[in-house]
Structure 1
């Protein structure tokens, strides 16, 4: 997994006006919480955070002025719906060696058998993993799978140390037979429609 070091400053002003001033300075208001501690309000560098958050479940090392470094995971990210700029970030304190539950993207590799379609029901899997060893993705190969094949959560090979928290019987991927287009029938339908139109024209 990716580990990014982010400089952070303690925030003493609150409210919408203060948040706007922070954003105008290309910074992001944030709150850090967890492990029974009181929430800590921070401002983070906007550009650095935008780059860090390109990676799902990025582990952040927060270098907070006047305090010791903290490890944290982004739990909620608010973005401007039009510009996509960061507006606020909630951060969860984590410790080395502890387990966390995160959503990890599913990457499908390979190609199923000819004349089949692939239906992916789950785009991500909820996994319990070490907070400092979160996999970037879970790869599932569908190479050569025939119509009727199914891949359930229990069938997925997980990264070392990871445990799925989903129901083992949940469908992740299903392989179906491709629907063939009946060209001949369609043609007959078109001819019938044309004949009806011609008869209606003659009747007029």
Structure 2
């Protein structure tokens, strides 16, 4: 399933022109890739924010550019370092018949027995890279942590055979682990020796 997004071709301008574009509620960007020349574009900022909020950034976008519809994926989203708004986007036009390498989030399902015993669920890796057809990109890879006890971990190798996707990460990479609860040691109470002075 692809998400429709209207784009407007723009003329490459200086920094002031890009700032003005953003003030008008648009995001500057560029489209490049399969059978397409690199083309500067702009998109509606509110609509793009809504798509990211509801559907994420991993899907295929059907871009409408000068009356033509093309399939593309987001290759880069640049955000303002201070305010966090999207300041520039790059779309890569793709061939829907060829596999893509994409990063997808890892989510957990189930209640870990280790956590029930007081352990702490840690997730060192929150995304993995898979190779997949564009129309089959998942929103996330789910990992069942139900049987994960304190001191146990799940690696990429543990879930590889359970997935329908070609995972490109190394088998040794740890996805989920349950750490033992940390016990805060009470500081010893120091006793002061009181010496009494005897007046003669």
* TM-score category, normalised to shorter length: 0.7 to 0.9
Aligned in 2, Cα 1:96/1:15: closer, same or farther, shift over 3 Å? same
The aligned counterpart of 2:108 is 108
Q: Which residue of 1 aligns with 2:59?
A: 58
- Which whole-Å CA distance do the structure 1 matches of 2:86 and 2:182 have between them? 44
The residue aligned with 2:136 is 133
Residue-pair matches, total: 191
Q: Partners of 1:166 and 1:80 in 2: how far apart? A: 30
- In the alignment, the residues of structure 2 paired with residue 105 and residue 13 of structure 1 have an alpha-carbon distance, to the nearest angstrom, of 34
Root mean square deviation of aligned Cα: 2.2
- Name stretches of at least 5 consecutive residues in structure 1 with no aligned partner: none
Question: Bigger shift: 111-120 or 86-95?
Answer: 111-120
Residue 8 of structure 2 corresponds to residue 9 of structure 1: yes
TM-score w.r.t. the length of structure 1 is 0.83
Tell whether 2:175 aligns with 1:176: no
TM-score (structure 2 length as normaliser): 0.85
* 2:90 corresponds to: 90
Provide the rounded CA distance (Å) in 1 between the counterparts of 2:131 and 2:110: 26
Q: Do the aligned partners of 2:57 and 2:74 also contact (CA within 8 Å) in 1?
A: no
Cα displacement (A) at 1:159: 4.6
CA shift at 1:59, angstroms? Answer: 1.7
Alignment partner, residue 47 of structure 1 = 46
Contact 1:52 1:58 in 2 (8 A): no
2:17 partner SS: helix
Deviation at residue 125 of structure 1 after TM alignment:
0.8
Give the match's secondary structure for 2:82: coil
